[in-house]
Amino acid sequence: MEGQMCDVERRLIYNTVRELRPEVVVECGTWMGGGSTLAVARALQDNKLGKLHTFETDLGFYASALLGYVQEQAVLLPFITFHLDDFLTHRNMANADMAILDGPEDMYYTNACLDILGVGDVNTIILHDWKEGKCAEASHHLGLHGYILVTELDTLTGMALWQR
Ligand SMILES: C[S@@+](CC[C@H](N)C(=O)[O-])C[C@H]1O[C@@H](n2cnc3c(N)ncnc32)[C@H](O)[C@@H]1O
């Protein structure tokens, strides 16, 4: 299965899920399923606890990811629900323990996600492409909702872990 993240980014995701033992993780941007989705699912499996709800709007990517897990990682399927849907349309994502944002190249979309997650129970947020324009105003929105920057990875496009 193909995935878009480098090893150090995948490790940060895996280790955070292992350490915090979240019951519910939500993710914006599945793509082919072999990047962040796989890192979360492996950690949940190792925790023997939790569920990842991953959202993807592109039918081709959604189908490819689902098929990839059925064929190559079926053991992880109990820990993942794949949604062919816009992350923002699922307001109950604010009830999750942890969120991973790796969706569209749109700063206003990122801001809207953070404002919904921030008024809910989500205490841990990982943002991929932290150095990119889509996260340009993210610090401001995260700060408004009481999150503190815990870890920042200086990878090609960057990754940041915020918690409250
Ligand atoms: C950077 S890729 C995700 C990479 C993936 N997390 C990985 O580690 O391999 C971004 C994905 O977000 C999807 N996407 C775009 N808008 C979305 C939305 N509103 N809700 C959910 N997914 C979306 C795109 O189709 C694309 O597959």
| Pocket lining: 145 vs ligand 1, CB cutoff 6 Å | no
The C-alpha atoms of residue 67 and residue 142 are separated, in whole angstroms, by: 35
Q: Does the reported pTM lie above 0.95?
A: yes
Q: Are 142 and 118 in contact (CB under 8 A)?
A: yes
Domains of the chain, CATH where assigned: 7-163 (3.40.50.150)
Task: Collapse the DSSP code of 154 into the 3-class scheme (helix H, G, I; strand E, B; otherwise coil) and give the result.
Answer: coil
Residue 93 has a pLDDT of: 85
| Cβ contacts of 62 within 8 Å, gap of 6 or more | 30, 56, 82, 84
- Tens digit of each residue's pLDDT (9 = 90 or more) over 26-83: 999 999 999 999 999 999 999 999 999 999 999 999 999 999 999 999 999 999 999 9
Residue 91, number of CB atoms within 10 A of its CB: 9
Pocket of ligand 1, candidates 14, 28, 153: which has the most ligand atoms within 8 Å of its Cβ, to mutate? 28
The mean pLDDT of the chain is 97
Contacts (Cβ under 8 Å, ≥6 apart) of 107: 133, 134, 135, 136, 137
106 pLDDT tier (thresholds 50, 70, 90): very high
Q: Which two tokens stand for residue 4?
A: 């878009």
User: Which helix (DSSP H) or strand (DSSP E) does residue 127 occupy?
Assistant: strand 124-128
Instruction: Write down the pLDDT at residue 90.
Output: 84
Give the pLDDT of residue 92: 80
Tally of CA atoms within 13 A in the half-sphere of 5 that contains its CB: 32
102 Cα: distance to centroid of ligand 1 (angstroms): 6
Residue 155 has pLDDT above 90, yes or no: yes
Q: Lowest mean pLDDT of 46-50, 87-91, 123-127, name the range.
A: 87-91
Q: Is residue 91 predicted with pLDDT exceeding 90? A: no
102 lines ligand 1 (CB under 6 A): yes
**Structure-block tokens of residue 55:** 């959202």
Ligand 1 pocket check for 4: Cβ under 6 Å: yes
